[in-house]
């Protein structure tokens, strides 16, 4: 009776483990895998060879390794199929890290647990810092925006405005939104308010000097 | 040479193809046959088995079968697999590769040396 409880317990654990597989894999093989596990449990009980624990550990570790392998395969395929989007994501990493550290630092500063944020301390080379924070997000936006435009031209204006196009280019769109947000945040701190204020004050007559002035702000 | 991405075949894939070369089998049936063929040296869990089967299906080495050859263990959840023409070709090529390696080892008179070291 006790062994029946243990077997049921292992079966339940195995079923839960199977849920960690990627959806497509799960839909195709989950039922068959559970059936095979049941067969092996039945055989183990019938033969009474070795402990159920060592058997279960072998099955669980084998399946856990397989789960990791399937997810890694999906990640590898994603990288292979969407290199521009992945490059965009990588270009956004330095800004994202500095943004998060800056926000956390600011929060702690507000609570009185830290000094004023000084993110420059993390970047020894000013040119590198400028590239990491200012250029990379803009570059990520640019390359993904061009990819989207090229895709839209290929399918034609009718299909480019469809939901299907948005679905198939979802990753590109996400990167565009993130990089545009980052770029606006970076330049928006000083440049955009300065520019908007200048235009409101002086109109569009002296636009080029205004761009230069705000660019140096 | 067959144009499949799984060559050279991994031990798991080779044993699965060998198990399916004689008849169609379901997952548990393949595992039992592999265990028997390898004299208990290769015991794969469901994770390894179905992971290998997925890649073999994608490469066209095996395919799902609608037949039910084991009525005693029939269950709707069971999927039977059979070897394809491409799978047979890949298996034949892999066995030929092993045959070539063995003849090479014999030519170089490596066997007595290996046996002398008890390997």
Does B45 lie at the interface with A, CB-CB under 8 angstroms? Answer: yes
Closest chain B residue to the Cα of A26, Cα to Cα: B50
Complex ipTM: 0.79
Distance from CA of B29 to the nearest CA of A (A): 9
Does B65 lie at the interface with A, CB-CB under 8 angstroms? Answer: no
For residue A56, the chain B residues in CB contact (below 8 A) are none
Would you state the pLDDT for residue B42?
86
Tell me, what DSSP letter sits at residue B63? E
Q: How far apart are CA B45 and CA B26, in angstroms?
A: 14
| Two structure tokens written together for A182 | 């980052």
| Two structure tokens written together for A161 | 């405005």
| 3-state secondary structure at position A102 | helix
Would you state the pLDDT for residue B48?
94
Task: Identify the residue whose tokens are 């956390």.
Answer: A104
**Hey, how many other C-beta atoms are within 10 angstroms of the C-beta on A82?**
18
Provide the residue-wise pLDDT of chain B in tens; the chain has 119 residues. Answer: 555 666 688 999 999 999 999 999 999 999 999 999 999 888 889 999 999 999 999 999 999 987 665 566 566 668 899 999 999 999 999 999 999 998 998 888 877 666 655 55
Looking at the partner chain, which of B26, B28, B45 has a beta carbon nearest the beta carbon of A59? B45
Contacts of A201 (CB under 8 A, 6+ apart): none
CB pairs under 8 A between A and B: 60
Burial of B19 (0-12, 13-18, 19+ CB in 10 A): buried
Would you state the pLDDT for residue A46?
77
- Under an 8 A CB cutoff, do B31 and A36 touch? yes
For residue B78, the chain A residues in CB contact (below 8 A) are 32, 35
For residue B72, the chain A residues in CB contact (below 8 A) are none
Q: Which residues pair with B25 in a beta bridge?
A: B81
Looking at the partner chain, which of A59, A69, A70 has a beta carbon nearest the beta carbon of B46? A59
- Under an 8 A CB cutoff, do B51 and A39 touch? no
Closest chain A residue to the Cα of B43, Cα to Cα: A58
Instruction: Extract the residue ranges of chain A whose pLDDT is less than 70.
Output: 1-2, 48-50, 117, 119-124, 126, 188-193, 215-217
Q: How far apart are CA B46 and CA A35, in angstroms?
A: 10
Tell me, what DSSP letter sits at residue A48? T
Q: How far apart are CA A5 and CA B92, in angstroms?
A: 46
Phi/psi class of residue B39: alpha, beta or left (left: φ > 0; alpha: ψ in -120 to 50)? left
For residue A33, the chain B residues in CB contact (below 8 A) are 27, 46-47, 50
Handedness of CA B54, B56, B59, B63 (dihedral sign): negative
- Under an 8 A CB cutoff, do A35 and B28 touch? yes
Closest chain B residue to the Cα of A65, Cα to Cα: B47
Would you state the pLDDT for residue B19?
96
Would you state the pLDDT for residue A119?
67
* Among B29, B2, B30, residue whose Cα is nearest residue B16: B30
CB A85 within 8 A of CB A144: yes
Would you state the pLDDT for residue A177?
94
Q: How far apart are CA B12 and CA B38, in angstroms?
A: 11
Best residue in B10, B45, B54, B59 for a mutation probing chain A (most A CBs within 10 Å): B45
pTM reported for the whole predicted model = 0.67
């Amino acid at each position: 009776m006790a062994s029946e409880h243990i077997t049921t317990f292992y079966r339940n654990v195995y079923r839960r483990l199977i849920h960690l597989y990627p959806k497509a894999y799960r839909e195709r093989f989950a039922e068959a895998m559970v059936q095979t596990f049941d067969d092996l449990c039945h055989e183990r009980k019938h033969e009474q060879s070795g402990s159920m624990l060592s058997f279960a550990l072998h099955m669980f570790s084998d399946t856990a390794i397989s789960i990791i392998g399937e997810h890694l395969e999906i990640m590898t395929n994603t990288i292979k199929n969407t290199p521009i989007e992945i490059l965009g994501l990588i270009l956004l990493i330095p800004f994202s890290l500095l943004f998060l550290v800056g926000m956390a630092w600011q929060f702690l500063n507000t609570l009185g647990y830290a000094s004023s944020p000084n993110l420059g301390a993390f970047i020894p080379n000013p040119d590198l810092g400028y590239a990491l924070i200012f250029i990379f997000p803009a570059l990520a936006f640019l390359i993904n925006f061009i990819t989207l435009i090229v895709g839209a031209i290929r399918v034609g204006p009718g299909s480019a405005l469809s939901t299907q196009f948005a679905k198939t280019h979802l990753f590109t769109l996400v990167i565009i939104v993130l990089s545009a947000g980052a770029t606006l945040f970076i330049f928006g701190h000083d440049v955009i308010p300065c520019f908007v204020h200048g235009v409101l004050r002086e109109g569009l007559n002296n636009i080029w000097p205004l761009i230069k002035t705000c660019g140096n702000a | 040479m067959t144009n499949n991405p799984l060559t050279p075949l991994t031990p798991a894939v080779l044993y699965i193809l060998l198990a399916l070369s004689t008849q169609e089998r379901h997952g548990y049936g393949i595992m039992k046959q592999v265990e028997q063929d390898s004299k208990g040296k290769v015991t794969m869990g469901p994770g390894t088995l179905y992971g290998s089967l997925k890649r073999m299906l994608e490469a066209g080495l095996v395919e799902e079968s609608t037949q039910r050859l084991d009525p005693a263990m029939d269950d709707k959840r069971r999927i039977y697999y059979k070897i394809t023409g491409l799978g047979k070709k890949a298996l034949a090529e892999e066995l030929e590769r092993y045959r070539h390696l063995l003849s090479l080892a014999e030519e170089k008179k490596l066997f007595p040396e290996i046996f002398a070291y008890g390997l």
